[in-house]
Structure 1
């Protein structure tokens, strides 16, 4: 899967908009910049009716997104992104999640074989490890009936628990599974100035890049890498990024250090996110954040990797 970027989480395309603000040409532009995949952030639950049936219009729009992604030469990751609902109400989440994946796999079957399914973004909150393992088992059974060989991404719990208490239990016989983790530590740096966070919205400029900073980041990711090697499971770094208010040079340094570690460990990754906030691309001025972009996809890195 290689390097990627998160897209469309807050875009009007799901409501039928065009250039809202994501434009069709951005798919090819993302590929030309050196990315290999996009993680498509889909908040699908609000499109379920009282019987948990998806709005047909949403499915047609998802078709379009998948077709544009594949036409641009990118791998699509369909990420069911309703983490807030799921963290608050595990029972309701389980019902809606099963309904969503039942309809997605019924629609696509073996179509779009390039597409990767991510069961749920950032499980946590009221979803504990036992509940998550149960959800994963049930959802995998749904997916495997229609797509026995589809690559599926399963998240570690998004909690402060020790790593061993966050990792999912996966069937040994299913080797076409990828475990995903997200990384935003330290939050006082990555989320400084974020207006939705009472804790971080008024933070003074916080830097990143000391030897201690780098060692902590490396140790955190290496711990995940050690587990992955022990159980022979691939890892996907599905999110990392820095809010726009951080000092620009430190933001690029942080992103570059994580990307370099992911390349070294052989992990595909997706930067959070293309536009909106934490933005890699300015859709108003129509330009990349070049320092951050080149930390993610240094010139020639894809060519050397192939």
Structure 2
């Protein structure tokens, strides 16, 4: 009786805060790494092959993630001297598909999680430069082709664990007034249309590979969280490009007259508002809300174009990474080598380190590794 009384009394000594609900954790691992652009172009002859050493360096530096954005025409066989026809969008070229297989295998062998993404899907791409035969968000024929592509990938990689490979349905849903004009106005895809497309592709994949992890990009170019999809077995992917005038400073595919863009600094003056780390926290609040609802979140793309002054870039991006870390959200820098990358970025205000013949931005690399 004395022992029972002691134990009972002890319970009363435990602070009430100990029984508070645990803070929701992000369901997705906080993978950190890079996008690989081998199949980013619709023209397979314009791909940017990932050197074998790149994957080794990514892993050796402590990263564990690569996202592979793919333009579907890059693995098809058709007459490239003219626009693709509807009856050609399923002309899978086995020899080209095997090149994707090789990159996936090489990445997994280095211990990297691979996120396979359709950057250009039948009937949609946020980038111009290729004439689609229909509209993914409106045409059933396009949706059927979209699902057929994901059926092919699901069957092809059915034997690979979801811990090693995930599918990212379609890059940055967006509705542009003129899909063939990169500078034409646009905005988010209608929620009903996005949900219909995502749900159909998800069901196609799950019918073949029930445990496959599937990710949906945020709406409106990747930045808008989608609570309307929270009831589906989908994780979601945000972007790390806020504020856009800093991340895409003087980018030619964004601005018609890049040289007329005014200088940028961080914190950033936008109208009457001064944007700082608190502004970044506000921007990501809807994504934090998704995590709190039990939806996994990852930042599939982030980084900065090489025209932003290096000092401004590092100060701003350090804050972005800090906020992502607070939410336990991982990231994928848009590229490893190139204008957004840690290698060969072409910045004019960086003292590059010679890294086995490559130009390494050591300050950028150190910033990223500080988050691992």
Shift of residue 112 of structure 1? Answer: 4.8
2:156 aligns with 107
Residues 39, 204 of structure 1: alpha-carbon distance in 2 compared, 3 angstrom cutoff:
same
| TM-score, with structure 2 as normaliser | 0.71
**RMSD over equivalenced CA pairs, Å:** 2.9
Aligned to 1:76: 114
Distance across 2 between alignment mates of 1:200 and 1:34 = 39
Aligned residue runs from structure 1 range 279-290, under 5 A: 279-282=341-344, 286-290=358-362
Give the structure with higher Rg (CA).
2
Range 114-123 or range 78-87, more displaced: 78-87
**Could you say which residue in structure 2 is the equivalent of 1:295?**
367
Is the helix fraction higher in 1 or 2?
A: 1
Separation in 2 of the partners of 1:59 and 1:159?
27
182-191 vs 143-152, which deviates more? Answer: 182-191
> Residue 102 of structure 1: CA displacement?
1.2
2:308 is paired with a residue whose SS is coil
**How far 1:15 moved relative to its partner?**
3.5
* Aligned residue number for residue 267 of structure 2: 209
Aligned to 1:118: 168
Gaps spanning 5+ residues in structure 1: where? none
Q: How much does 1:238 deviate?
A: 1.0
Instruction: Look up the match of 1:186.
Output: 243
The equivalent of 1:85 in structure 2 is 124
User: Which deviates further from its counterpart, 98-107 or 124-133?
Assistant: 124-133
What is the deviation of 1:6?
A: 1.0
| 1:226 equivalenced with 2:272 (yes/no) | no
Residue 190 (structure 2) aligns with: 128
1:169 aligned residue (229, 234, 239): 229
Unaligned runs of 5+ in 2: 1-28, 78-87, 127-131, 177-188, 269-273, 347-356
Report the 3-state secondary structure (helix = DSSP H, G, I; strand = E; otherwise coil) of the residue aligned with 2:35: strand
Q: Note the alpha carbon deviations across 1:189-230, whole angstroms, 9 max, x for none.
A: 22112122335611243112367322211211133202320x
Q: TM-score, normalised by structure 1?
A: 0.85
Relative distance call for 1:41 and 1:99 in structure 2 (3 A) is same
* Other-structure match for 1:34: 62
Q: What is the number of residues matched between the two proteins?
A: 293
Give the SS at the match of 1:282: coil
**In the alignment, which residue of structure 2 is the partner of 1:275?**
337
Contact 1:3 1:297 in 2 (8 A): no
- Output one character per residue of 1:46-86: Cα deviation in whole Å (capped at 9) or x when no partner: 43451513211221011100110011111111011016834
